[in-house]
Amino acid sequence: MCGIIGYFGKEEALPILVNGLEALEYRGYDSAGVAVFLEGEVKVKKSVGKVEILKKSLKNNFCSGSHLGIGHTRWATHGIPNKSNAHPHSDCQGRIFVVHNGIIENYKELKSYLQKQGHNFKSETDTEVVPHLIENFLNSGKDFDIALFDTLRMIKGAYALVIIDKENPKILYAARLSSPLVIGVGKNENFLASDPSALIGKTKNVVYLNDGEIAKISQNDINIINLKKKKTPYEIVHLGWDLEQAQKGDFPHFMLKEIFEGPEVVRAAFRGRIKSKENLVKLGGLEKVADQLKEVKRLLILACGTSYYAGLVGEYLFEEISRLPTETHFASEFRYRDEPFDKNTAVIAISQSGETADTLAAIQKAKKHGLMTLGIVNTVGSTVARETDAGVYNHAGPEIGVASTKAFLSQLTVLIMMAVYLSKNKNSSKKLLEELEKIPKKIEIILAQSAKLEKLAEKYKNYKNFLFLGRRYNYPVALEGALKLKEISYIHAEGYGAGEMKHGPIAMITENFPTMAIIPQNSVSEKMISNLEEIKARKGPIFAITTEENKEISSLTKDIFYIPKTIEPLEPLLTIVPLQLFAYYIGTKKGFDVDKPRNLAKSVTVE
């Protein structure tokens, strides 16, 4: 959940480290630090708070001329945010400097053992045991490589580690287990990062470290070995993202920019993959398992957060279009279930980053039971993409805002295409594919009315609670809309299937408890009307998102936002957009940093 950057090359290290940390700010963090090698010494600077605070402390040509360094943004797990707990961490002698993402589960036992050996600790973190362990093995006469191997064998948990050894100043060491780490390949320079976004503008060629691999990186060379000390081959992946895609442009926030990218995101997801006139969906990432997919009788969708809500929409899609029984599970809970599995069950794992720890653990469980695993991810070469048997990329480009918006749209689009791809009755999907091609234009119509949503956000911004209601395909949209409002504005919001309202939530309805009703004209809109009548009878304010054909709504509320009409399975692609904008405008009007909500991280790489 933290951010790592490392550099060894021809240029000044410090500006590259700081720029990399700034690029990683969206992941969420509470402190930052750097360590750079210069003239036989390693200099360290740490700060609490934003990277900007760290930058200000680096004035007066701090370590000018250094070409080797590491940097880190920390999201607290062990110990409060302060300078002592900020990374990098070092050993007693100040020889070894470490930055770390992940959690070392047995750090207490290791720390107790090391303290008995005479090691003094300066922080409350789990990370600090790493440099002290390495030092302990060095003290016993082992060379650095062996000391690092032995240290990694003692550690239990998850880690992405980048290490400087003052006695080996021409090498950056890196190791990975269940926490992402990527090598950026340059000319006369190499990089390390926890996320490819930190490398945009520097290189588009990357190598993804696999679990159990250790890298020794020099200015012109990369050597990767595994924990059995065997050299492992690696593949250089070319990133399709560019610097312009990762910048805000004329938008005040990444979140707003990414919402407005929605039309192109949907186009990018289906471009070259559908031929509506031929009633055809072509998903190249699934071709190698096409024969196996014909035998699938049941689907399990595994995901977390926003991706989970996309999966709930997928559940409806696969059952209605593919005629496959489907269940959607929180990946974090699935791994602890003890259920029987049929060999004809396939798993679909959804993760925007492709590095979500709980989702990866759930994939490993599925594979142990012999289930086929498919991935829906946005990041090429990510761990989910590599660990699954096959999958489909979103092609959404970099999403910098912590609260996912455009990735959700791309996930829905991919799920729609997969549902058609898996359908045995292809002829029934022609209308759906034709309508899918029209969706980007309809999202543009919604975005053109954003001023109306901003005005309504002004009216509703001071409420303390919200109820989001939807039915069928829009039930997961209600959940996701409530999540967006919570993430961005810190307003308490709950999403419910509207049929459940009478089973408890209606007790909360008062004139100070508004309801966000997602009620396009469809097969369940009459049922929704009945729910809203009950809310109105209790003087609950109602904000409705509906289609222009739905005239009954005007008798229940004046706060209405109209969206274009589409067929029911595609409605979430339209109904979610005004909810994203509504959350954005309330968050900004309340003065919050909507790109970096408090306590949240973009890529959740710890369990």
How do the domains of the chain map onto residue ranges? Answer: 3-244, 248-437, 448-607
Structure token pair of residue 493: 């919001």
Residue 26 has pLDDT above 70, yes or no: no
Rounded CA gap, 120 and 107, in Å? Answer: 14
CB atoms within 10 A of CB 340: 6
Q: Provide the pLDDT for residue 478.
A: 96
Q: Provide the pLDDT for residue 242.
A: 63
Q: Provide the pLDDT for residue 69.
A: 94
Give residue for tokens 């009620």.
Answer: 519
Fold of 3-244: Glutamine Phosphoribosylpyrophosphate, subunit 1, domain 1 (3.60.20)
- For the stretch 328-381, pLDDT in tens is 999 989 888 888 888 899 999 999 888 888 888 888 898 989 999 999 998 777
Active site residue 122: no
Residue among 2, 50, 55, 486 flagged as catalytic: 2
CATH number among 3.40.50.10490, 3.40.640.10, 3.40.50.12780, 3.40.50.2300, domain 248-437: 3.40.50.10490
Rounded CA gap, 258 and 352, in Å? Answer: 14
CB atoms within 10 A of CB 477: 28
Region 315-322: mean pLDDT is 95
Rounded CA gap, 434 and 279, in Å? Answer: 9
Assign 3-class secondary structure to 234-284: CCCEECCCCCHHHCCCCCCCHHHHHHHCHHHHHHHHHCCCEEHHHCEECCH
Rounded CA gap, 198 and 331, in Å? Answer: 27
Q: What percent of the chain has pLDDT over 90?
A: 57
- In degrees and rounded to multiples of 5, residue 331 shows phi and psi of -60, -35
- For the stretch 106-164, pLDDT in tens is 999 999 999 999 999 999 999 999 999 999 999 999 999 999 999 999 999 889 999 99
Handedness of CA 181, 185, 191, 196 (dihedral sign): negative
Question: Could you check whether the bond before residue 88 is cis, i.e. omega within 30 degrees of 0?
Answer: yes
Rounded CA gap, 58 and 128, in Å? Answer: 24
Q: Provide the pLDDT for residue 499.
A: 80
Contact present, 47 and 74 (Cβ < 8 Å):
no
Residue 402 has pLDDT above 90, yes or no: no
Residue 513 has pLDDT above 80, yes or no: yes
- For the stretch 443-497, pLDDT in tens is 999 999 999 999 999 999 999 999 999 999 999 999 999 999 999 999 999 999 8
Active site residue 204: no
Helix/strand/coil for 143: coil
Q: DSSP assignment, residue 178?
A: B
Same fold? 3-244, 248-437: no
Q: What pairing do the DSSP bridges indicate for beta strands 465-470 and 222-226? A: unpaired
Rounded CA gap, 106 and 152, in Å? Answer: 12
Q: Provide the pLDDT for residue 38.
A: 86
Instruction: Supply the Cα-derived Rg of the chain in whole angstroms.
Output: 25
Cα–Cα distances in Å, from 579 out to 122, 454, 468, 585? 46, 11, 10, 10
Residue 501 has pLDDT above 90, yes or no: no
Rounded CA gap, 442 and 447, in Å? Answer: 9
Q: DSSP assignment, residue 589?
A: H
Query: 374 pairs with which residues across the strands?
Result: 348, 390
Residue 533 has pLDDT above 70, yes or no: yes
Handedness of CA 575, 578, 582, 584 (dihedral sign): positive
Contact present, 494 and 464 (Cβ < 8 Å):
no
- For the stretch 77-89, pLDDT in tens is 788 889 999 999 9
Residue among 45, 204, 442, 602 flagged as catalytic: 602
Taking all residues of the chain, what is their mean pLDDT, rounded to a whole number?
89
Q: Provide the pLDDT for residue 586.
A: 96
Domain 448-607 bears CATH identifier 3.40.50.10490: yes
Query: 206 pairs with which residues across the strands?
Result: 184, 237
Q: Provide the pLDDT for residue 243.
A: 54
CB half-sphere exposure, 146, CA atoms < 13 A: 8
Sequence length of the chain is: 607
Residue 197 has pLDDT above 90, yes or no: no
- For the stretch 277-298, pLDDT in tens is 888 888 888 989 999 999 999 9
Structure token pair of residue 413: 């689009």
Q: DSSP assignment, residue 210?
A: P
- For the stretch 222-257, pLDDT in tens is 999 998 888 999 988 887 766 556 677 778 898 999
Rounded CA gap, 581 and 602, in Å? Answer: 19
